[in-house]
Each structure stands twice: as C-alpha cells, then as structure tokens.
Structure 1
Amino acid sequence: MNPFEKIFNYQILSRLDESDALALTSQERTWLRTALAHSSSVVAFTPGTLEKLNRILQNKPGINHRDFIVEKAKNAERQVYHPLLRSLRRMIMQDKGMLLTSRIKHGGTKANQPGLPVKLEYSMVKREWYLLWYSTRGRSFMATKLQSIVSVEETLLPPERVEELRARVAAHLEKRKEQAVIEVVRTYNAELSRILYAFSCFDKSVSFEEEENRYLIHVTYLADESEFLLSKIRFLGLRVKIVEGDGLRKRMLESAEKALARYGSSDDIAIRKPAP
C-alpha cells in the first residue's frame, strides 16, 4: 500500500512543501485522469506535457460521474481555462514586460498600456481569472480580468528595471498586509491538522503555549482577503476564535448580531462587545 495514501499530517505536508515534493493520492490521480478527458485540456497543456500525463495515467481509470451525478440546469459555464494563461505565465517566469490592451467597463478600450505582469489569480467567488500587474504609466498596481484583455504583447525590460518594478510591487503588497492571531480551542487540539488545512492558502505560522496547552495560528493576509479569511473561520465554528485582529473581530461581531436579529428571540443573551 502506498504509505502516502491516508496520511493527512501538517508536519509531513510542510516538509514536502519545503522540498518542492508532491504526494498524489489515488483520488487525485483519478481526478486528473478525468480532467485530461475534458476538451479544455488540449489548450491547457502543451502537446508534450499532455502526452506525458496521458502516458503516466494510461492505466488509471477516470471518474464516470454521469452514472451517479445528475446536474441541474444552470447558467452558461464560463471557461475555467483561459487561452492567455500560458503566455502570461511564461512572461512572468521570464521577467518580461508587456503592452496590454483591455476593454473598459463602460465601453471602449485602453490600448498599449505598458507594465510588468506579476501574478495570475483565480477568483473562486467570481469564477474568473485575473492578471495582477504593475502599470509603469500610472505607477499603480492593477488587477485586470483576463476576459477583458483584448491583446497582450511581450516587451523586453532591462534586468535592473525589472528589479526596480518588483521592489515597488513588494512595497505595495507589504502595505496591504494585515495579521491576525487565531486560537485553537483546547477541546479541538486533536483536530489541528484539519484546522490548519482550512488556512492552507494563507501565509501562516503556528506556536504552542505549553503552560496553557493551546495552539496559536499567526495568519498574514492581504486587506481584500479578509472576508475570505472570515469565511474559513466561520466554517470552523467553535473550533477556533480570533484573539488578535480588531478588524476581523468587529466583522465577526457584526455578523453574529445580524444572525441573532434575524433568528434570535427576546430571551437571547445580548452580545457583549469586546473592549477597545
């Protein structure tokens, strides 16, 4: 039996991440085999990569979901893979500049905007890809939907110019960073791995206070990710509580008050606001 099949341990996953190693479960291989059968895989991978993956997984069956899943009617599905992803990812990896032409919200286009592509992000809420880039003309950090991009042209930038622009981006992102400390309620210490997995998409560190037998999760996040972080905290319910992070505590208090106002009764105990 593959020893990695049933391992779900934070320490082991951390070590694998540090060594750039990846352990795939049989379920993940089955999912990948199913994904390769989708029509989007032809444009998502280069022919060589697609051929290699199909060869490695040729003896692995896919998921015949049509036998047990009945899908309800819904709106037209947006394409999860975008044709520009590969070229933009290559520009980012090779430190290339770009000239971007994009559609604007109320009609028309902005042509030949010079800048440096920094990162590609997928919004799980809006189901859309975004390009995060630095505009050298406006000297600002931008987020543009890939769906709104008309064309993008690769340009060459001197290495010292790329280093300067990346330093500006890093300084901008540093200003947007916020921190919070989340305590694991002692009763649920045994579920630490599951709790940490819920915060896997955030930069974090864990400390243990031996005298009080409690774990503290120190989370670093961008200001516009606060609602997403709150959704993870709400999902964990009684297992965790925010001990540092005034903004998060205030939003949790507001949502609790609204929930009580809608579903509570006059006999409910009033929520005491935290001390400033």
Structure 2
Amino acid sequence: MNPFEKIFNYQILSRLDESNAIALTSQERTWLRTALAHDCAADAFTPETLGKLQQLLQDESELGHRGMIVEKAKNDERQVYHPLLRTLRRLIMQDKGMLLTSRVKHGGTKANQPGLPVKLEYSMVKREWYLLWYSTRGRSFMSTKLQSIVAIEETALSPERVEELKLRVAAHLEKRKEHAVVEVVRTYNAELSRILYAFSCFDKSVSYDEEENLYRIHVTYLADESEFLLSKIRFLGLRVKILEGDGLRKRMLESAEKALGRYRDDTRNKESTEKPAP
C-alpha cells in the first residue's frame, strides 16, 4: 500500500473533519452542478440553499453527459429523492414527535399514529425510502415506506420523554445486533481498500496481526441485514473468509453445497452421455 495514501487519509481528512470543511475536486463540482439541474433538486433543497449552490457553481462547466451516454430501456423508476425526506430529517434532528397517517397493505389508512421518528433508510434492492420510528401507542419499533405515508403532523415531546423513547429504541436495536469477524486472505492484502469499501455500509473496525500479517474486519450488523452482508462476502470471493459468525458460516456452507451439488450433477451427466460405446 502506498504510504502517502495513509498520510492523506488520516491526517488531511481528519484535519478537514475537525474544521467542518470538505475538499471538493473540480470533477465533483461539475457533477454537483449537473445534479442541481435535475427536477428532484427542488425537493432536495430549500429555495435559499438551492440558489446559493447554483450561484457558487455558476462558473463551473457542465458535465455534458447527454451526448456521451445512452441509457438502455428500463421500467419506470420511483423517485430517488422523496419530498418528505427534508421534513422527516428535520423532525429527527430536532427530537420532535409526530402523528403519522399511512396507507395499509390491503387498503384503507391508519390515521394519527403517535411516535418518534428515528432514522431514514434507503433500500438499494427495492429502491425505496423507509422511515424507522418508534410507536408510542403500540410500544414497538416500526418501518414504513415513505410512499405509504399520507400525512405527517409535528408534535412536541418533553426532553425527558424523548430520552426515554431513545433508550427504548437503543435497547431494541441492541437486541437485533449481530457480530462477525471476516479475515482478509493474506494473498489479497494489497486489495484492502477495495475489500473495506464492500463493507462501507456497515459498522466495522479493522485489526491487524503483525506477526501473521493478517487483517481482520469486525462487522456489526442487524439481524435482517445478514443476507445483504452475505452478498457482499460472496462478491469478494476468495479474498475473504468468515472467522466468527455461526449463522453466516452456516448460510455460506449451505449455498456452497447447493452450488457444488448442482454443477457436480451436471458434470456427471455430461460424462455419462459422452462415454464411448463398447
């Protein structure tokens, strides 16, 4: 690994983070100006913020991608940026409560459900935004599609009540947390940056055994994210192996046995059909 890469990542980026500054390349500024021209930009930013960004980037060149890129025909895609995101993010940051009215699966609506918004998540598989929130009426942790939300009304909660609900949410999430240790095969140590990028959406830490020259990635994930984590591990192939995490090891063994069984049977059938007649 290039030693200057470590210096740049650790020292420069940490200094920028401490001063609340962000370094932007000319390519990133060009991309941002192009993104601000999209129709969703009006929902993503307030008019004041959008105008300020456009003014700061007015001297930047445009990407000019329309003549270079041809997009294949595809199904209609849902809006990536939902109009409720800004409202919900503000409620979460300001520790506000809410009354949620949403559509139910089999028709009709549930009106005025009291709760505390906790987190916004975007599913890359379903390409939809979800609101994670705690229902004070049902005393349960909920997940609701933003597309299903009909209306949201802000409510005031006392600091003591907010702290109580946050403790309940933290206890619930802690129960759902699972841990795994993924070891980088020594041959692929040079690809550590690429391997870590595959786990970028999970809470993780890295340990290094100097005597054995081995990197181990300690991953923390929610129980319902196990299949997504497995897909990342399968993508990395021979570069990694699971050291700890019985559930993950069992699922990897099952999928490997199924794959071996399928291709072993195909090979045997092919050999029997190609066997020369006596």
Normalised by the size of structure 2, how large is the TM-score? Answer: 0.88
2:17 & 2:247 partners in 1: Cα distance?
32
The equivalent of 1:233 in structure 2 is 233
Question: Would you say 1:15 and 2:14 are equivalent positions?
Answer: yes
1:202, CA displacement in angstroms?
1.0
The equivalent of 1:197 in structure 2 is 197
1:226 & 1:21 partners in 2: Cα distance?
35
The equivalent of 2:183 in structure 1 is 183
Distance 1:7 1:64, change over 3 A: farther
1:21, CA displacement in angstroms?
4.7
The runs of 5 or more residues in structure 1 that have no matched partner are: 1-5, 268-276
Distance 1:143 1:76, change over 3 A: same
C-alpha deviations, 1:29-49, integer Å up to 9, x for none?
332221111011011101111
The equivalent of 1:155 in structure 2 is 155
1:16, CA displacement in angstroms?
6.3
Equivalent position amino acid for 2:74 in 1: K
The equivalent of 1:243 in structure 2 is 243
2:48 & 2:89 partners in 1: Cα distance?
17
Does the Cα contact within 8 Å between 1:16 and 1:22 map onto a contact in 2? no
1:122, CA displacement in angstroms?
0.7
Distance 1:99 1:24, change over 3 A: same
1:72 & 1:124 partners in 2: Cα distance?
19
Equivalent position amino acid for 2:14 in 1: R
Moved more, 134-143 or 81-90: 81-90
The equivalent of 2:257 in structure 1 is 257
**3-state SS of 1:66 partner:** coil
1:85-96 alignment, distance < 5 Å: 85-96=85-96
C-alpha deviations, 1:122-154, integer Å up to 9, x for none?
111111110000000000000000000010100
1:58, CA displacement in angstroms?
1.9
**3-state SS of 1:67 partner:** coil
1:129 & 1:16 partners in 2: Cα distance?
33
The runs of 5 or more residues in structure 2 that have no matched partner are: 269-278
2:63 & 2:158 partners in 1: Cα distance?
48
Distance 1:55 1:22, change over 3 A: same
Equivalent position amino acid for 2:220 in 1: T
2:16 & 2:118 partners in 1: Cα distance?
22
The equivalent of 2:66 in structure 1 is 66
Distance 1:15 1:188, change over 3 A: farther
1:10 & 1:235 partners in 2: Cα distance?
25
1:92-111 alignment, distance < 5 Å: 92-111=92-111
Distance 1:191 1:25, change over 3 A: farther
Moved more, 22-31 or 97-106: 22-31
**Greater C-alpha radius of gyration:** 2
CA RMSD, 1 decimal: 2.1
Distance 1:132 1:17, change over 3 A: farther
Distance 1:141 1:13, change over 3 A: farther
Distance 1:233 1:189, change over 3 A: same
Distance 1:13 1:82, change over 3 A: farther
1:253, CA displacement in angstroms?
1.5
Moved more, 172-181 or 245-254: 245-254
Distance 1:130 1:63, change over 3 A: same
1:172, CA displacement in angstroms?
0.3
Equivalent position amino acid for 1:138 in 2: G
1:4-153 alignment, distance < 5 Å: 11=10, 15=14, 19=18, 21-153=21-153
Tell me how many residue pairs correspond in the alignment: 262
Normalised by the size of structure 1, how large is the TM-score? Answer: 0.88
Equivalent position amino acid for 1:54 in 2: Q
1:262, CA displacement in angstroms?
3.2
The equivalent of 1:273 in structure 2 is none
Equivalent position amino acid for 1:144 in 2: T
Write 1 or 2 for the structure with the bigger share of helix: 2
1:195 & 1:240 partners in 2: Cα distance?
8
1:12 & 1:25 partners in 2: Cα distance?
18
1:92, CA displacement in angstroms?
0.5
C-alpha deviations, 1:33-83, integer Å up to 9, x for none?
211110110111011111121122222223222212222222212111111
